[in-house]
Amino acid sequence: MNPQNEELWNKALAEIELSVSRANFATWFKNTNIVNNSEGVVTIGVPNGFVKEWLENKYHKFVLKSIRSLLPEVRVVEYSIVSSIAEPKTLKIKLPREMSVPSEEQLDFKEFQIDPETNLNPKYTLESFIVGSFNELAHAAITSVVKNLGKAYNPLFIYGGVGLGKTHLLQAAGNKVKEMNPLKKIHYTTSEKFSNELVSSLQNNSVYNFKEKYRKYDLLIVDDIQFFSGKIKTQEEFFHTFNTLYESGKQVIFSSDRPPASIHDIEERLRSRFEAGVIVDISEPELEARIAILKSKAAEKKISLPDETIEIIASVIQKNIRELEGALNIIHIQSNHKNIVLKPDEVREILNKNVRPKNVVTPSQIIKVVAEFYDIPEKSIFEHTRKTEIVKPRQIVMYLMREDLGRSYPFIAQKFGGMDHTTAIHAFDKISKELKKNNKLEEEIKSIREKYQNLAEQGVK
């Protein structure tokens, strides 16, 4: 393999290895290499037809994703049997022909190294979690909870925007407790998983088992609880689960993308449980923290880049730690690819090309996010109705179009099917006034803004 291809494949494999069980990794990725990489097409050489079929049918998305994260210009990844990659005699895997792979669904690789009992992924640790002023409260609260399970802050509620480390911190808490006391029963789940499990237990007449299972934990972690919103049956069941755990002194940790007061369609009694302990938020990392995070990720991945380059990445990417990591990889592989130290302008250019332009929020993104946030169909925002559940989101959309996009009142009125522009003025004034006295609304609008900024950054139209 030529050295650049080798480097690329090793990096891609390192990513893949993190997310695939050791057995699967050894089985399917052993003796593979990149045999060709030109004009956006990467060809992976594989030792035999079985491996080719599995990679194509089960792992392809993942391979493509990890290669693209390193070399964004790659369009196609294909697999080709290369007889010279001899299969070592020790590899005793013989697959019967009928075990050919169903191709409907690509595997969810992250699942593989996760402990099925706890749902914890060992890659998330407190040691690898960088603390700055943006997250130090959340980190301190977690540390305290880990040391005094059920006694310090119970429940602990952590909220913050996408990619700011909530899952990392929650998972790290679970891993730490497990490390300190392997006998503790720990379980991590998401609100969606909890809900799905409940639904299938109802279908299989196994609700009793479901209840039993959730009531035995010493530490229950529920991530992204904003998705409980609107799920009445799930909320009811969760309420009882929570009470049982809480009353027997068991620890519960929650995360959400917004504070409890801003989660809509949630029963008051459940909301008051969320609010009963300690609520802390994670905000956006400041520049120093972004630099520290990049340096630590670089060290972890044995990447060496000049400080100046790191600083440029940290100053261009401000809101999302997941994106910081992505940018670091791109810059690294590009400088290796060209075999040079990139000049500051080149770093900026690559980031500008690969990291989406900021703040190109569009009216339709605002409408989409607001509709989702208040759980109403997008088209109902345009309905001429006085129903409060529609009027409020509609006024918020108008407010945001004016305030954040600087659109004129006539423009906004026209967007809403040619209504009178004074209606848009009225909506703007109403929300502006309301915002001054209503904290809940303020939080809601903050969450909405974060969401469409994320959409915009992800380039969703």
Taking the least distance from each CB to Mg ion, the nearer of 167 and 414 is 167
Cβ-closest residue to Mg ion? 167
Q: Least distance in Å: CB of 437 to ligand ADP?
A: 30
Which of ligand ADP, Mg ion, none interacts with 163 (beta carbon under 5 to 8 A by kind)?
Answer: ligand ADP
Which of Mg ion, ligand ADP, none interacts with 130 (beta carbon under 5 to 8 A by kind)?
Answer: ligand ADP
Place of tokens 């993308």: 257
Q: Least distance in Å: CB of 90 to ligand ADP?
A: 35
What residue type is assigned to position 357 of the chain? P
> Could you write out the DSSP letters of every residue in 138-203?
HHHHHHHHHHSTTTSSSSEEEEE-TTSSHHHHHHHHHHHHHHH-TTS-EEEEEHHHHHHHHHHHHH
Determine the Cα–Cα distance for residues 263 and 261; give it in Å rounded to an integer: 6
Q: Least distance in Å: CB of 15 to Mg ion?
A: 19
Which of Mg ion, ligand ADP, none interacts with 155 (beta carbon under 5 to 8 A by kind)?
Answer: none
Taking the least distance from each CB to ligand ADP, the nearer of 168 and 392 is 168
Cβ-closest residue to ligand ADP? 165
Residue 97 φ then ψ, to 5°: -55, -35
Taking the least distance from each CB to ligand ADP, the nearer of 164 and 401 is 164
If DSSP codes are grouped into helix, strand and coil, which group holds residue 107? Answer: coil
Collect all residues with Cβ–Cβ distance below 8 Å to 432 and sequence separation of at least 6: 399
Taking the least distance from each CB to ligand ADP, the nearer of 155 and 326 is 326
Which of ligand ADP, Mg ion, none interacts with 113 (beta carbon under 5 to 8 A by kind)?
Answer: none
Taking the least distance from each CB to ligand ADP, the nearer of 271 and 322 is 322
Residue 452 token pair? 């469409």
Q: Least distance in Å: CB of 224 to Mg ion?
A: 6
Which of ligand ADP, Mg ion, none interacts with 273 (beta carbon under 5 to 8 A by kind)?
Answer: none
Determine the Cα–Cα distance for residues 222 and 14; give it in Å rounded to an integer: 29
Determine the Cα–Cα distance for residues 165 and 356; give it in Å rounded to an integer: 21
Q: Least distance in Å: CB of 321 to ligand ADP?
A: 4
Taking the least distance from each CB to Mg ion, the nearer of 58 and 166 is 166
Residues binding ligand ADP (CB under 6 A): 128-130, 135, 162-168, 293, 321-322, 325
Residues binding Mg ion (CB under 5 A): 166-167
Which of Mg ion, ligand ADP, none interacts with 294 (beta carbon under 5 to 8 A by kind)?
Answer: none
What residue type is assigned to position 33 of the chain? N
Which of ligand ADP, Mg ion, none interacts with 135 (beta carbon under 5 to 8 A by kind)?
Answer: ligand ADP
Determine the Cα–Cα distance for residues 459 and 429; give it in Å rounded to an integer: 31
Which of ligand ADP, Mg ion, none interacts with 315 (beta carbon under 5 to 8 A by kind)?
Answer: none
Place of tokens 């918020």: 396
Determine the Cα–Cα distance for residues 72 and 40; give it in Å rounded to an integer: 9
- Beta partners for 80? 45
Q: Least distance in Å: CB of 260 to Mg ion?
A: 17
Q: Least distance in Å: CB of 42 to ligand ADP?
A: 25
Collect all residues with Cβ–Cβ distance below 8 Å to 459 and sequence separation of at least 6: 356
Determine the Cα–Cα distance for residues 118 and 373; give it in Å rounded to an integer: 31
Taking the least distance from each CB to Mg ion, the nearer of 160 and 393 is 160
Helices (H) and strands (E) counted in the chain, each on its own, are: 19, 8
Q: Least distance in Å: CB of 255 to Mg ion?
A: 7
If DSSP codes are grouped into helix, strand and coil, which group holds residue 417? Answer: coil
Taking the least distance from each CB to ligand ADP, the nearer of 346 and 372 is 372
